[in-house]
Every structure is written in C-alpha cells, then in structure tokens.
A and B are shown apart, each in its own frame.
Chain A
C-alpha cells in the first residue's frame, strides 16, 4: 500500500473516531436528561479526544518507521550481495547501493544492469514491499486499538475538554519552537560544512589571505590550479559595494523621511509614501536585471564620454542600484523613529524662535539619533546579504581594489558561483561556499542584534 493511500485511510479512520466519540457523548447527554449524571464537556470535545488518540500514535509510528526503514533496507541489500562486494569500502558500497536503488526506482540506466545488482534490486523491492505491508497493517491496527481504548473513556465524569485543550497547547508550543530550530539548523548545518572546509584550508589563510581563486586541481599534476582561498578581496568587494549603496541610501532615505514626516502635506504624504514603498516590493532579481542591462552600460558610456574607463560590471553600478533598493528601508524605519520624537520637543524649539530646519537638525535628529543608527545598521546588514543584484551586475573575479569603477566580487556572488551548477561534494571549492555563508550569517546576525537592541533601547525612552 502506498504511503499516500495509507495516510488517506488514516484520515478516514480519524474522522470516524471523531464521530464515534461525539456520538457516544450525545447519546450520553440524552440519557442524562433522564436522570443519570451530565457530561463534563461538550460532545465535540469527546470526539476530538478520541480522534487525537486515534491519529497521533499511528502517525508517530508511521514517522519512526520511515526513519528506520532505509537502514533496514540497506542492511538487507548488503546481506544479499556476494561476499567480495561486502568487503568494499563504505563509499564504494554506497555507490553500489545507489545503483540498486536506481534500478528499482527506474532511474537513468547505463547499459544492461549487472546480474548481482539486479539480484540485489530484486531483494530490495521484495523487502520494501514486505515492510510497507507490515507498516500499513500495524498503523491501522494501532489506530483502531487506540481508538477503542479512547472511546471507552467517554464517560460523564471524564474531562475531555481539558485534555483536548492541553494537547492543542502542546501543538502551539511545538510550532513556536520551529523558529528556534530554524536558527539552530542554519547555524549547525553551515558550521558543520565550514568546519570540514577548515580541515582542508586553515581559517587563518581563509580570513586573512589576499588571493582568491577557488579552483582546486582535478589531477595531481595539473598546473596553476592549486586553489587559493584568501577571502579578503571578497570582504573588501562586499564592503565597497555596500559602502556605495549606503552612500546613496543613507542621505536620500533619511532626507526623504524628514521631508515626508516634517514638510509634506498630508495629501502628498498619502500618495508618495506608498509609491516609495513600491520600491521595497520589487523583487531583487528585477533590480539586478536593471543594474546589468541599463545602469551598467549607461555608466560605461558616461565614463567613455568623460574620458576614463568604467568596467561594465563596475562596483558603482551594482552599488547605486542596491542603494536605490535600500532607500525605502532606511526611510520607513527613520520615519517611525522621527515620528516617535515627542511633539513637545518641536514646540519648545519653535517657541525659542528656531526655524523648521534648525529644529530638525538641532533637536529632532539628535533625539532620534540612536534609532536612526539602528535603522542604518539594519540597512547595512541588508546590503551585505543582498545577492541577486550583485550576482547579475557585479564581477566574478576577485580584485583587491577600492576603485569603484572597477569590477569587484562579493561574498554572496562567490557563494552562488561556487554552488550553482555541477558540484562535487567534499571538495574545498564547494565547502568554501559554506565557510563564506558562515561569515555572512555571523556578521549579519551581529549587526541585527546590535541594531535591534539600539532601536529597542531607544523606544523605551519616550514611552
């Protein structure tokens, strides 16, 4: 029986369990009118209780079975192989096992299958079929058994509601741990692969090396492809592009936030603010396309006419477009902060005879400064982690330069180039992407934590 059929059968059984439990309670309530004791909860809760008991143990069994099955299957297949193949190394054995599985699943075949592999495949599908039948039988029997046990507990004095509500609350708790599990998952998976990278390349070389060319030799005697993993050019490239982006986004975003919150009339504000927020809703791949096809050639042409050379994938082009992308981010965060400055401060300043711009520069901005710094930090973290714009509009070669007219590469570009396309696992080249990912994750995490703390700390002041 296929897993989906089994699950559908289980759902059917659960529905039956619900109605059975409810029906028993309804019958009991009718009987209660004639003088027996009334039921503690509404009938639906008894139904829910029975249904939960029916489905949860069965599902747990189903999940455990599917986790254990591959191990058992593999043991069975290895057992069926001839003795000389059983002596193979773990890796080679894995390849053989994959061949067997491919044969069963009807995957891509190269030529006639080996007879031993065919025999093993036979054994594989045999064992799997038995396993699936056994699973279907046990799951359904378990479901019926727990159902029967739970139905017998439907009595007037049984507090079904409390039980059902408690289990729903446990479900909530489980749901809320997913967020934590995701963070742990990111950290552990990236760290794990990065540690394997650091077994091949020393962390010192990675963090402080000046040369990045992630080509490892395929053959021992190959010339000129020893592979260099010094990430400094990537870091400087990332900083250069994010710096240009912030040089655009910080003044423009801040000034437009000031204009919209302090000067613009209500009607202008109502129209312009959503329009600017449109910029935040445009997918980054679209910005990348724009940077690569419109801004890059435009800057190149401009450079040509002014007589100096601009690379078509210059840091300037990618940085400018990224800056535009971040403008709404800076301006909406600063807008919140500026609006949070109490009106009394403004009134006090006007009362002393200050003009509006003097009030903004000398009273509001200093009061809002921590919040603005927090907003800018968040924007920097956004710029560092931005991928599509730089993948499409920045270069691939790692240049160690501070010249914005040259092409530089960034951490995210390298992660993408290392991992897209055919990849060999365990090679330093692939693992390097995870090491870069680890650096990226830690840096953005640090920026976010600091920024959130600054913003939060500031908000409490005026509340």
Chain B
C-alpha cells in the first residue's frame, strides 16, 4: 500500500522531471541571452565608433610646388611682419594649382579646381612664411591641406561611382584628384588641426582643443568646490553630527539630489547663477558651479563609505592616548579614508566630464573658435562639442564626431583606471 503510493509519487515526479529540466535550461539560456544583449551592444557600439572615428585622425594632404612669390607676399620688400601676416597666401596656393593643371582655363573650372584645397592651406603657408621670412622667393614642395570633400573621396567614405548629382564633387574634380593620386601627390597625414584648433565651419579645420580646454577649466572649478565641501560634509555626518531630525533631513536630501535629473541642475544654474547673480553665460565658471552641485552627492556618498570603512579601534586608540576628537579625525581617520575619498572624487569628476544636458541650459552650446584663456571666457565642453558636430550635415563631421567621442571616452577610461589603481594600491583590510 505505502509502496504503491510512493511509486506513484515517484512516477508523477519522474513524469514531470524532463519538463522541469528543460525549463531549467531555458531559463538559464534566457539569462545568458540577457547578459549577451548588453555585451553585444557594447561590442557593436565600440566597433562603429572606432570604424567611423579613427580615420578622422588622418587628413588628406596634396603635394604642391608653391612659389612663395615676393611680389604677392611682400611687394615692398620691407619684411614688415604686419604685411607678411595679411598677405593673400591662398592666391599662392591657387597659382600652384594653375601651374599643376595648365589646361584648366575657364573661370568656372578654375574655381572648381581651387575648391579642392582648404582655406587652411593658406593659413599653413602664412605660418611657414612668418616664422621664416627668408624663404620668400623660393619654390617649396609642400603637403597642403585638402578640402573636406576631397578628404571624404580619398578615404572612400563617399563613393566615386555615384551619379554626379549625388555627390559633392564634380566629375572634373574627381579626374583631377585621380591625376594627383597617379602622381603620388595625395596622401593621408596626421590630422594636426583636430587636436590643436577650435571649432570651425570647415570640417578639415575643426578641432577639439578649445572644447578640451573648456572642459578642463570646468572640471577644475568643480574639483575646487565639490571636493572640500563633499569631504567636510561627509566628515561632519560620519564623525560629528548628532543623530537627529536635522541630520536625517540632510541625508535624505543628499540621496535625493543624487537622483535629480541633470537638466534640472541646468535650470537652477540658469535661474540662479546667470539671471540672479549675473555671471556670464557660456562661461566654464558657471558650468563648473552647476557640475559641482551635481557631483557633490557622489563625493559625499563615497567619502562616507570610506570613513565607515575605517575601524572604530583606530578612533578609540587615538582618543585613548589623549587626542581630541578633531585631532583623531584629522591625524588618523582622514589619512586612512583619503584613498577611498579620492576614488569617489575621480569617479564623480568622470561623470561631470561626460555630462552635457545642464550645460545646454547655461549657454555652453556655442560656436567657439578661440581657445578660452580663463574660466570666465566663453567656451564649450567636449560632450557639447560632440552634440554640436552630431547636428552638422557634412559627412566629414560624422567622422569627427566619432573621433571626438573616442577622445572623450579615452579621458573617461583614464580617469576610471586611475580610480581603480588608487583603490587597488591603497586598499586595506583591517
């Protein structure tokens, strides 16, 4: 009797066992698939960025024999720096092109020919001549900057076999480029402008340097304000504050601030710092102030965690040998908690570096050519530069946007790496 019932239970279990095991495998595969979704996205993401962005680190240049004609540059022969600076160097580039293609004569065609070269070619010539005036009169073979449409065609980003109406370059221009390529006069060189100049309407002249400097000033302001404030708040809450309503309120506040959307901080910056205090728009100072309010909760939370990790025995020992509470904190607890606090600060800074929404509110979406010299100059930031370029229609800006993203990600990676190393180096078990 009991045997029979046991058998039947076992049978019932056995009958369902196959299905249960199949469910188990299915569930497990579902989990694996979910994990893979994130990883696959990450891979696709980096692959697209690298494929799109890496070519922007190189730029097409064309080898031209430029005669630095004295009567164009310096007709008076006085080598006056002002004359040298304001001479029309672009016309030298044009002359060089004319010489290269002597049978191009009609006005329209010559204009099409000239548009192969960037306005930056003349600027580069100017720099060469003003730093070496003795070169005037000589003929130099120089790799000069090509226009962004030429650059795209040379890199193969724009297909040359498209119908003429569907591309930026005409058939004649493509012919010229191919003639130059056949002579070995077209090559990809390191893109100097991308790292040294500010924004520009011409993609081949646009760079990230002014945005990088703007971001640097902003992070500087953020660090100077949020680090001392964050550490002081954390020390107060962990070491000195009595447990009461007031400190409870501060704690709830900090946790909430950490989750307030960043754009709301931008609204605060606009209403308070710009409209009420009259600070200048587009200035890294205001951006830094807004970002420090955003970073503050991150630093406070990390610093408190670092302080709680210091064991009470150290505090008791310090108090036991007669230190005051302040001496105990400053001489013993703070040095032990400092690596943790710094790690939290670096992570907060990395977040601030990638933040762009609040900066849009305070007017940092601006077309900035000049490199800012102080935190009060109008400026933009790296992520905002990405945002601006992503809106530009030219094909060459797509490449530059990806390259700027790569630079931004490289900075973020470095900062996070520094945080990890710091943690590894000073991590301590009590």
Residues of A bordering B, CB below 8 Å: 161, 165, 168-169, 171-173, 175-180, 182-183, 185-186, 189-190, 192-193, 251-256, 258-260, 262-264, 272, 275-276, 278-279, 281-286, 288-290, 292-294, 324, 327-328, 331, 353, 355-358, 360-361, 378, 381-382, 384-388, 391-392, 412, 415-416, 419-420, 425, 433-434, 437, 440-441, 444-445, 448-449, 452
**Given A165-B324, A357-B27, A415-B267 in contact, is the A441-B260 Cβ separation under 8 Å?**
yes
**Given A190-B267, A285-B354 in contact, is the A169-B240 Cβ separation under 8 Å?**
yes
Contact of A180 among B35, B249, B262, B264 (CB under 8 A): B249
Docked complex: B241-282 residues within 8 A CB-CB of A:
241, 247, 249-250, 252-257, 259-265, 267-268, 270-272, 275-276
Evaluate contact between A357 and B324: CB separation under 8 angstroms.
Answer: no
B239 closest partner in A (C-beta): A172
Which 4 A-B residue pairs are closest in the complex by CB-CB distance? A385-B261, A259-B31, A283-B354, A255-B34
B residues in contact with A292, CB < 8 Å: 390
A164 closest partner in B (C-beta): B326
Instruction: Determine if B361 is an interface residue (Cβ-Cβ < 8 Å).
Output: yes
Instruction: Determine if B430 is an interface residue (Cβ-Cβ < 8 Å).
Output: no
The size bracket of the interface on B is 35 or more
Q: How many angstroms from the CA of A353 to the CA of B326 in the assembled complex?
A: 58
B350 closest partner in A (C-beta): A281
Docked complex: B376-413 residues within 8 A CB-CB of A:
383-384, 386-387, 390, 398, 401-402, 405, 408-409, 412
Q: How many angstroms from the CA of A425 to the CA of B405 in the assembled complex?
A: 34
Instruction: Determine if B73 is an interface residue (Cβ-Cβ < 8 Å).
Output: no
Contact of B390 among A392, A416, A420, A448 (CB under 8 A): A392
Q: How many angstroms from the CA of A275 to the CA of B262 in the assembled complex?
A: 25
A sample of 18 cross-chain residue pairs with beta-carbon separation below 8 angstroms, ordered by A number, consists of A172-B233, A183-B257, A185-B272, A255-B30, A272-B35, A275-B39, A284-B354, A285-B387, A324-B38, A355-B24, A356-B24, A357-B24, A381-B259, A391-B357, A419-B361, A434-B267, A444-B260, A444-B261
Evaluate contact between B27 and A360: CB separation under 8 angstroms.
Answer: yes
B408 closest partner in A (C-beta): A283
Contact of A176 among B42, B233, B325, B402 (CB under 8 A): B233
B residues in contact with A327, CB < 8 Å: 37-38
Evaluate contact between A179 and B254: CB separation under 8 angstroms.
Answer: yes
B residues in contact with A264, CB < 8 Å: 35
Instruction: Determine if B371 is an interface residue (Cβ-Cβ < 8 Å).
Output: no
Evaluate contact between A290 and B48: CB separation under 8 angstroms.
Answer: yes
Evaluate contact between A433 and B267: CB separation under 8 angstroms.
Answer: yes
**Given A282-B409, A289-B405 in contact, is the A176-B250 Cβ separation under 8 Å?**
yes
B residues in contact with A169, CB < 8 Å: 236, 240, 326
Evaluate contact between A448 and B37: CB separation under 8 angstroms.
Answer: no
A residues in contact with B45, CB < 8 Å: 282, 290
B20 closest partner in A (C-beta): A355
Evaluate contact between A444 and B259: CB separation under 8 angstroms.
Answer: yes
Evaluate contact between A440 and B263: CB separation under 8 angstroms.
Answer: yes
Shortest distance between the CB of A229 and any CB in chain B (Å): 17
Residues of B bordering A, CB below 8 Å: 13, 20-21, 23-24, 27-28, 30-35, 37-39, 41-42, 45, 48-49, 228-229, 232-233, 235-237, 240-241, 247, 249-250, 252-257, 259-265, 267-268, 270-272, 275-276, 293, 296-297, 300, 324-326, 350, 353-357, 360-361, 365, 383-384, 386-387, 390, 398, 401-402, 405, 408-409, 412, 416
Q: How many angstroms from the CA of A180 to the CA of B360 in the assembled complex?
A: 25
Evaluate contact between A179 and B297: CB separation under 8 angstroms.
Answer: yes
Evaluate contact between B35 and A172: CB separation under 8 angstroms.
Answer: no
Apart from A255-B30, A440-B263: 11 A-B pairs, beta carbons within 8 A:
A165-B324, A172-B235, A172-B240, A175-B236, A183-B253, A286-B408, A293-B390, A324-B38, A387-B262, A392-B390, A420-B365
A193 closest partner in B (C-beta): B271
Contact of A285 among B48, B253, B326, B356 (CB under 8 A): B356
Evaluate contact between B386 and A289: CB separation under 8 angstroms.
Answer: yes
A248 closest partner in B (C-beta): B37
B residues in contact with A416, CB < 8 Å: 263, 357, 360-361
**Given A179-B300, A449-B256 in contact, is the A251-B250 Cβ separation under 8 Å?**
no
Evaluate contact between B38 and A256: CB separation under 8 angstroms.
Answer: yes
B residues in contact with A288, CB < 8 Å: 387, 390
Q: How many angstroms from the CA of A283 to the CA of B398 in the assembled complex?
A: 18
**Given A179-B233, A385-B262, A434-B271 in contact, is the A272-B253 Cβ separation under 8 Å?**
no
B residues in contact with A253, CB < 8 Å: 34
Shortest distance between the CB of B247 and any CB in chain A (Å): 8
B residues in contact with A361, CB < 8 Å: 27
Evaluate contact between A355 and B21: CB separation under 8 angstroms.
Answer: yes
Q: How many angstroms from the CA of A445 to the CA of B259 in the assembled complex?
A: 8
Evaluate contact between B383 and A283: CB separation under 8 angstroms.
Answer: yes
Evaluate contact between A173 and B236: CB separation under 8 angstroms.
Answer: yes
Evaluate contact between B28 and A259: CB separation under 8 angstroms.
Answer: yes
A residues in contact with B354, CB < 8 Å: 281-286
**Given A172-B236, A193-B271, A285-B383 in contact, is the A263-B390 Cβ separation under 8 Å?**
no
Evaluate contact between B360 and A260: CB separation under 8 angstroms.
Answer: no
A residues in contact with B412, CB < 8 Å: 281, 283
**Given A161-B324, A437-B263 in contact, is the A185-B360 Cβ separation under 8 Å?**
no
Shortest distance between the CB of B44 and any CB in chain A (Å): 8
A386 closest partner in B (C-beta): B261
B405 closest partner in A (C-beta): A286
Evaluate contact between A178 and B236: CB separation under 8 angstroms.
Answer: no
**Given A178-B229, A190-B267, A433-B267 in contact, is the A384-B35 Cβ separation under 8 Å?**
no
Contact of A252 among B37, B276, B326 (CB under 8 A): B37
Interface centre among B255, B264, B272 (most CB of A within 10 A): B264
Contact of B32 among A175, A259, A275, A385 (CB under 8 A): A259
A residues in contact with B235, CB < 8 Å: 172
A residues in contact with B387, CB < 8 Å: 285, 288-289, 388, 391-392
A residues in contact with B386, CB < 8 Å: 283, 285-286, 289
Q: How many angstroms from the CA of A307 to the CA of B236 in the assembled complex?
A: 63
A residues in contact with B390, CB < 8 Å: 285, 288-289, 292-293, 392
**Given A263-B31, A355-B24, A357-B24 in contact, is the A452-B255 Cβ separation under 8 Å?**
yes
Q: How many angstroms from the CA of A378 to the CA of B260 in the assembled complex?
A: 10
B residues in contact with A440, CB < 8 Å: 261, 263-264
Shortest distance between the CB of A276 and any CB in chain B (Å): 5
Evaluate contact between A276 and B265: CB separation under 8 angstroms.
Answer: no
B412 closest partner in A (C-beta): A281
A residues in contact with B262, CB < 8 Å: 385, 387
Contact of B271 among A189, A256, A391, A392 (CB under 8 A): A189
Evaluate contact between A378 and B263: CB separation under 8 angstroms.
Answer: no
B residues in contact with A263, CB < 8 Å: 28, 31-32
A residues in contact with B267, CB < 8 Å: 186, 189-190, 415, 419, 433-434, 437
A residues in contact with B247, CB < 8 Å: 176
Shortest distance between the CB of A129 and any CB in chain B (Å): 21
B residues in contact with A289, CB < 8 Å: 386-387, 390, 401-402, 405
Q: How many angstroms from the CA of A254 to the CA of B37 in the assembled complex?
A: 12
Q: How many angstroms from the CA of A182 to the CA of B272 in the assembled complex?
A: 11
Interface centre among A252, A388, A425 (most CB of B within 10 A): A388
Q: How many angstroms from the CA of A358 to the CA of B276 in the assembled complex?
A: 60
Q: How many angstroms from the CA of A441 to the CA of B253 in the assembled complex?
A: 14
A residues in contact with B384, CB < 8 Å: 285
Shortest distance between the CB of B207 and any CB in chain A (Å): 18
Evaluate contact between A255 and B31: CB separation under 8 angstroms.
Answer: yes
**Given A173-B236, A186-B267, A419-B361 in contact, is the A276-B256 Cβ separation under 8 Å?**
no
